[in-house]
Amino acid sequence: MRTGVFALCALIGWTGFAVAQPVRVVSINLCTDQLAMLLAGPDQLYSVSYLAKDPRASAMTVEAEQYVVNYGLAEEIYLMQPDLVIAGAYSTRATVDMLRRLGVPVAVFEPTYSLDDVAARIMQMGEVLQRQGAAAMMSANFDARLKALTAEVEHNPRAILYYANGYTSGDNTLAGQILLAAGFSNAASEAGYEAGEKLPLEVLALTEPEIVIAARPYPGASRSEGILDHPVVQKLRVNHAGATMTDHDWVCGTPYVLRAIENLVTARETLTGAKP
């Protein structure tokens, strides 16, 4: 049952530490799903979004099987009687607004734009779940593993991330930061594409990257992904497992980005024929 204190938090917005640990938590965002699953105490997390079970987007599909699935609808969430709902800043906005009007506390998480943000989101989840100790341990472990993976290398191969509709990710994105941490340089940023932007095929060809790293294609036919089959892209790609973006490890700011970095380190070592 929701307490008066939690209802007050819902009215004024989540502003830091709760005074009591929430005992029935519902997450309605893919990224908060995974952070909550990693940090929640026994029986604390009740429901996660349906995307948590999608292997193309979620790194924790097996873990998600033990939770009730939701579709981010205000009616279904309210009937679950949560004492805390966790949402992303840019998803299910109407649901968040409705739940707050109904007196349901909602904690909102901003997207993760850098590797520094990963540790910050872990600590934020620790706060809203009142699991600060577990979050501190996870954050420290993340920082230590990240430091071990980001040793300096003699040669930083020039790479470009390239996916559906010709979009790329520059240095000012989480994907771009993963690329840099693995010892690559981002040729898209060199060409002036610092964020997530559409990179024309002609620019891709003119940058002459040593490797193009693309996402795994979705099942079936897709015009948006047709550009990845262009001869220019195919010529620049290196077709081994480490050079294919594993989407579910890259999508959210969770400790699983370390696995993405590890896979890219392997791709770089294969490309250069040398280890750092």
> What pLDDT was estimated at residue 236?
74
Domain with residues 158-272, CATH architecture: 3-Layer(aba) Sandwich (3.40)
Q: Which residues of the chain have pLDDT under 70?
A: 1-19, 220-221, 238-246, 274-276
> What pLDDT was estimated at residue 16?
45
3-state secondary structure of 26: strand
In CATH, the number for domain 4-145 is: 3.40.50.1980
> What pLDDT was estimated at residue 244?
59
> What pLDDT was estimated at residue 91?
81
> What pLDDT was estimated at residue 232?
81
Tens digits of residue pLDDT in 141-195: 999 999 999 877 888 999 999 988 899 999 999 999 999 999 999 999 999 999 9
Q: Which amino acid would we find at residue 208?
A: E
- What residues does each domain of the chain span? 4-145, 158-272
Strand pairing category for 158-162 and 185-186? parallel
What pTM was computed for the model? 0.86
> What pLDDT was estimated at residue 10?
40
Question: What is each CA distance from 169 to 3, 77, 127, 219, 245, in whole angstroms?
Answer: 43, 34, 30, 23, 12
| CB neighbourhood size of 182 (10 A) | 25
Instruction: State how far Cα 7 lies from the chain centre.
Output: 29
4-145 and 158-272 in the same fold: yes
> What pLDDT was estimated at residue 89?
95
